[in-house]
Amino acid sequence: MVKYLSEEWATEAKKKVLAELDPKKDLKGMNASLMNVVQNVPPDQKTIYFYIRFVDGKLEELLATSDESVKQKPAEFTVTGDYTTFVQISSGQMSSAMALLKNRVKMAGNKIKAFTITKPIDTFNACIQKLSTEY
């Protein structure tokens, strides 16, 4: 079991996505980069930056760190929300689209493009849900 948003979790999540998801079929050849800013992460309420980048549907980068230097990475979208909401998304209790609609997360970036990548991002989330994760 790996701790959610730890470096070990990020490594295992990337391996799982690369092994199980087809870049064209499952991830629709998506080109996108997202910086997820996860606030109030227990036990000390710190902020974790969860960065993902896809090129032609292939997951090129997946990082989870409290190091603010990751904010220098190019991100088309920045999604900010509370740890509890990200747990609900990553564990399958809530879709990323529903979190946006309910204002549980705030998103900066092209809203039209965001809707075009919602399905592949949900497929990505469904894949990482299968990791044995400690929240």
Parse the chain into domains and list their residue ranges: 2-128
Element at 126 (helix H, strand E): helix 111-129
pLDDT tens readout for residues 23-76: 999 999 999 999 999 999 999 999 999 999 999 999 999 999 999 999 999 999
Q: Are 14 and 52 in contact (CB under 8 A)?
A: no
CA 69 – CA 76 distance, rounded (Å): 17
pLDDT tens readout for residues 85-99: 999 999 999 998 899
What's the predicted TM-score (pTM) here? 0.94
Q: Regarding the domain delimited by 2-128, which CATH topology (the fold level of the hierarchy) does it fall under? A: Nonspecific Lipid-transfer Protein; Chain A (3.30.1050)
Instruction: Give the CB-side neighbour count of residue 35, counting CA atoms within 13 A.
Output: 19
Query: What separation in angstroms does the CA of 91 have from each of 22, 53, 73?
Result: 21, 20, 26
CB atoms within 10 A of CB 3: 12
Nearest Cα neighbor of 54 from 127, 130, 132 is: 127
Residues 6+ apart with CB under 8 A from 3: 9, 133, 134
